[in-house]
Chain A
């Protein structure tokens, strides 16, 4: 087990290195540059040259990259030239909101997705199953930004039960209750698709397992239905479900980008969107590096969880 963890942790380094090279190249290759983003319609060749020089972007691309890597190894992610502050400061300010939102969405999606999936499988072809299947299909098919706008309209504007956006109230906010109230709509929106995927997958995995001989055996020896389902069937279905939860964790991190925009959530996703449009390359680099690290970490945890559940993986 320790070997597996070490091996996987070691793999993280080339992955993150690759990510940083790709991001650097992509941002540099797309047309338009930071000086133009800053100057807009005043982007005359002379102005562009001057601002580029002042930003230190007149050096060749590989040199810029080497400088960036060198600084990174010294723990310095550089300075955002749009926000005029160290990249690390901005990322740290944005990290918690994103983790909170993505974490809440993942918990919601996993709990409801798996529970409803089990219920659907157990009552296969019954009314409950059909209802759940239809709702899950709707969940998968609905674009989340649209669902978010619908929620805002109904629960934020019409009924005014919940705040329409932001993470805290502008006055006297910041308490746990306040943040939770602001969290409900974006987290639910973000969880909708991920949860729906999990419903369908759990249902399928459970049906598969429930047809196995050992389930029949378990029932035959007189175990309660609850023990058969949760003790025998679900535990085995979980091997198929866990990696998908891992995938959905990646999905909610990615989905946070537009959900954060719709709900003005002060997270990394929204930061990345504006950083990309202003060609704020160091901020993009730093942000993507953090998100990619999160992704890799989740994958690692997923693998470990599977290894715990399934002895066959451990010995591979």
Chain B
């Protein structure tokens, strides 16, 4: 039969025949009950937590490496990990860790104080024989460590050059996993450690197929007891629509970062469970405080009043974010000032402030927008919505859009003099990090050129204070000062989301934005 003779009847007939026979439904053929398949946003880059730079890598690595400290479930509070207890000296410079005994790395070697010292020396000392296994771009977040000393086989001391209160949060965070690397594995693999890894976490490395899958299996000897699942398979699915399709067709059991437009499709079905969790993230507009119009506080406040942030998080972001009030995200429950309410949407007030600042007829500004970027949510849509809101109060923003990498090069360390506004976002593990880099006078990422002696003093106090309640009071005051002085327009705090099949039990997103699969099971 030539194609020309294919009649409509025969075509319909063949379709019906195929449907009746029922081709195999690929969705049902797959994952075994004790293995979890995860739709992951990117290809894994490295198995070395000291080298990892992306949140997507850390989401995997947190399951392979234990740090000295852990975050508690559901919060950014720290609890003992590979260290069973710790002590901070009164001057805030010395941290002493009592290590857990009998812990073995995946390769069978023993975890002890020498291992911890090896791991820190490797990344901090440029003369260390394995320093060439780097670079270690984010180790600086651990702070100014002077030396690491072994007091006895199960006691190790971190000595800082100056007090660094964020140390505990950082050691409990994903980068802190570097303390739990197996030195034997580093010595064995050298530069290829990043492709082989070796830790003491609940899962161990099995297989890594480029562009296809990254496989872990349960560590039966894990010190907290073996995990419930036998294995984890991370599938790199970069395209967000593809991630949704795989989830719908059963190709994955769980997917992190569902696009806002697809959430409703999952929440309305009993076959899926939807998760969301606010994290230590802030999306904001940097205002150039060095030049007109935002050298005037009133003009900066006008920006905060002019933007309809409520509509932005509901309509543009489909409730994947909440409205931000100031510099500290609410995920830092202990340091967040919940009494401080976000700037209300008040265009009339914005116009009035603008007029008081000397711009009764409005003002023209250049507005840098990025096409995408880690933590930037929907930067183009958000930029356009902001542009419309600003136009309504007379701030005529001319948008210039750049690819993320280019964008960063343009705005760090400082906005060009003729650029008044830029989008930016920041994720951090401790309330110190963001203001210290981006608000402190001369801070390395202080793109808006902001300077306020009061803010500088508070940041310094917060970094040195070892008592957490006193630290919290300092950050609350910092939030109030920054809120009023408005160096930025505070827009949104991102809520990370995920969808799993209803078969997945015991999963929770963590405020650190990492995914921990130790307690997860599949029925």
Contact = CB atoms under 8 A, between A and B. Distances in A.
A220 to B, nearest CB: 26
A42 B235 contact: no
B426 A41 contact: yes
B361 interface: no
A261 B445 contact: no
Contacts of B236: 264
Interface string B230-270: 00010111110110011011010000000000000000000
Q: Which of A46, A50, A162, A165 has the most CB of B within 10 A?
A: A165
B135 A166 contact: no
Interface string A18-58: 00000000000011110111111111111100110011000
Given A40-B374, A54-B135, A119 B4 contact: yes
B212 A266 contact: yes
Given A123-B4, A169-B29, A83 B45 contact: yes
Interface string A140-181: 000000000100110011011111111111110000000001
Task: Give the contact-size bracket for chain B.
Answer: 35 or more
Interface stretch (A65-73, A269-277, A303-311): A269-277
Contacts of B30: 169-171
A36 B370 CA distance: 15
A263 B243 CA distance: 10
A160 B245 CA distance: 11
A164 B245 contact: yes
Given A84-B194, A266-B211, A166 B408 contact: no
A230 to B, nearest CB: 14
B192 interface: yes
Nearest to A115: B3
Interface string B193-206: 01100000000000
A40 B53 contact: yes
Contacts of A46: 444
Contact of A264 (B4, B51, B242, B409): B242
A269 to B, nearest CB: 10
B255 to A, nearest CB: 12
Contacts of B373: 40
Nearest to B413: A45
A285 B151 CA distance: 49
B209 interface: yes
Interface in A242-274: 261-267, 270-271, 274
A222 B445 CA distance: 84
B412 interface: yes
Interface string B15-50: 000000001111101111001010000110110100
B157 interface: no
A128 interface: yes
Contacts of A119: 2-4
B241 A44 contact: no
B471 interface: no
A166 B210 CA distance: 11
Contacts of A261: 238-239, 242
Task: Give the contact-size bracket for chain A.
Answer: 35 or more
Interface in B400-423: 403-410, 412-413
B212 A166 contact: yes
A47 B140 CA distance: 9
A235 interface: no
A279 B404 CA distance: 12
A161 B26 contact: yes
A31 B410 contact: yes
B437 interface: yes
Given A40-B53, A51-B135, A170-B31, A152 B413 contact: no
A89 B148 CA distance: 37
A152 B406 contact: no
Contacts of B29: 169
A83 B192 CA distance: 10
Contacts of B134: 54
A84 B237 contact: no
A90 B210 CA distance: 7
B159 to A, nearest CB: 22
Interface string B67-107: 00000000000000000000000000000000000000000
A161 B45 contact: no
Contacts of A85: 192, 194-195
A82 interface: yes
B276 interface: no
Given A44-B412, A152-B245, A32 B406 contact: yes
B23 to A, nearest CB: 5
Nearest to B426: A41
Interface in B119-162: 134-138, 140-141
A232 interface: no
Given A32-B403, A152-B245, A267 B412 contact: no
Nearest to A53: B135
B390 interface: no
30 contacts: A32-B403, A33-B409, A36-B408, A38-B137, A42-B445, A43-B409, A44-B412, A44-B437, A44-B444, A51-B137, A84-B195, A85-B195, A94-B211, A119-B3, A149-B241, A152-B242, A161-B24, A162-B26, A164-B246, A165-B237, A166-B235, A170-B30, A170-B213, A170-B235, A170-B251, A181-B26, A264-B235, A264-B237, A270-B211, A277-B404
Interface of B: 2-4, 23-27, 29-32, 35, 37, 42-43, 45-46, 48, 51, 53, 134-138, 140-141, 191-192, 194-195, 209-213, 233, 235-239, 241-242, 245-246, 248-249, 251, 373-375, 403-410, 412-413, 424-426, 437, 444-445
Given A47-B137, A161-B24, 8 more contacts: A36-B409, A39-B53, A51-B135, A93-B210, A94-B210, A156-B26, A264-B235, A264-B236
